[in-house]
Amino acid sequence: MVVVRSFFKGNKRTASLTPTLNKLSTFKHVNLCINSFLKPELNILPIEVALLEIQFTISLPANITYTLASSIYQQSIDKQRVIVTGAQSGLITSLVRHVLTTNQRKFDFVADGQLQATLTDAPVLIVEAQHQLADFHHHILLLSDPTIDLKELDKVADATPKGGLIIYPQVNKELKAIATRERPDVQVIPYDTYKHEKQQGKTILITSTNEKFPIALTTASELACISAARELLKKIGISSGQFYRAVSTFQP
């Protein structure tokens, strides 16, 4: 079930519902519930009021399988599709988007809760989602602490294509078991808390060549998110120098 709220405000006596209803024309089962606030002097139908709150409750038959994720997949067949899921997916995708934007790399981004998505000609699609994961047909799956049933995550991991990649947190035994299960031609990369040091209350990332970059993140969970973002960005063409310069300017 999907609930969409629309508010119509204005000085005119009527508010047309046509544009909103047209958006729902593809659904065969629509229940319309109108809660209106009528001025006492207005003796008109609820559909023609100065201030109107409309709640559309869309009930889809159980056998309908078409989803927004399916639509996004159809629009992104020629893109490299990355799914980031789990409790830390928000921070991980924020880091990834910041680094890509800082380095002027083109990408599309879709998150749970969007009712529609407009994609560009960017070569990469980043998806932050907890549901309908298999419908995106990912190439890269990045896992963080699970927010959905592990059996569902297992199915999504099994859908990783040949040549695909699963990135998982080393410290989570359940996710490690899912990620490392043998799958033909699927690469698996673990991530852990990023190498760092503390100086006067500040967190400093330490690179493989012992360069140091101060960052705004501090906790072990946040440092693991940096590591996850780094592993992903390696696979989509971001060099070490590009990553560290960008992540040092990230603000949560």
Largest pairwise CA distance in the chain: 76
Q: Judging by beta carbons within 10 Å of its beta carbon (0-12, 13-18, 19+), is residue 176 exposed, middle or buried? A: middle
What domain range includes position 20?
Answer: 2-58
Q: In which band, very low, low, confident or very high, does the pLDDT at 49 lie, cut at 50, 70 and 90?
A: very low
Report the distance separating Cα 120 and Cα 153, nearest Å: 28
Beta bridge partners of 165: 140, 187
Using alpha carbons, select from 251, 252, 194, 246 the residue that is nearest to residue 220.
194
Give the residue with greater pLDDT, 195 vs 112. Answer: 195
- Same domain for 85 and 179, yes or no, is yes
pLDDT over threshold 60, residue 53: no
Matching residue, tokens 């063409």: 237
The pTM of the full predicted model, rounded to 2 decimals, is 0.74
Using alpha carbons, select from 128, 4, 9, 2 the residue that is nearest to residue 64.
2
- The count of other CB atoms within 10 Å of the CB of residue 203 is 19
- Same domain for 76 and 175, yes or no, is yes
Among 34, 58, 82, the domain boundary falls at 58
- The count of other CB atoms within 10 Å of the CB of residue 77 is 8
- Same domain for 14 and 136, yes or no, is no
- Same domain for 74 and 180, yes or no, is yes
pLDDT over threshold 80, residue 139: yes
Mean pLDDT across the stretch 237-249? Answer: 96
Report the distance separating Cα 243 and Cα 224, nearest Å: 15
Residues in the chain, total: 252
Report the distance separating Cα 248 and Cα 206, nearest Å: 12
Mean pLDDT across the stretch 130-145? Answer: 96
Q: In which band, very low, low, confident or very high, does the pLDDT at 67 lie, cut at 50, 70 and 90?
A: confident
Matching residue, tokens 């690469």: 187
- Phi and psi (nearest 5°) for 213? -135, 120
Q: What is the mean pLDDT of the chain?
A: 80
Residues 6+ positions from 219 with CB-CB distance below 8 Å? none
Among 58, 84, 102, the domain boundary falls at 58
- pLDDT recorded at residue 79: 97
pLDDT over threshold 80, residue 36: no
- Taking only the tens place, the pLDDT of each residue in 150-172 is 999 999 999 999 999 999 999 99
Q: In which band, very low, low, confident or very high, does the pLDDT at 115 lie, cut at 50, 70 and 90?
A: low
- Taking only the tens place, the pLDDT of each residue in 167-197 is 999 999 999 999 999 999 999 999 999 999 9
Percent of the chain with pLDDT over 70: 73
- pLDDT recorded at residue 68: 82
pLDDT over threshold 70, residue 27: no
Report the distance separating Cα 18 and Cα 93, nearest Å: 37
**CATH of residue 92:** 3.40.1190.10
122 membership: H or E segment, kind and range: none
- Same domain for 79 and 150, yes or no, is yes
pLDDT over threshold 70, residue 62: no
- The tokens for 180 are 């490392």
Percent of the chain with pLDDT over 90: 67
The separation between the first and the last C-alpha atoms of the chain, rounded to the nearest angstrom, is 33
- Same domain for 171 and 51, yes or no, is no
- pLDDT recorded at residue 118: 83
Total domains, the chain: 2
- Same domain for 92 and 156, yes or no, is yes
Matching residue, tokens 């949560």: 252
- Same domain for 85 and 183, yes or no, is yes
pLDDT over threshold 90, residue 41: no
Report the distance separating Cα 166 and Cα 163, nearest Å: 10
- pLDDT recorded at residue 63: 41
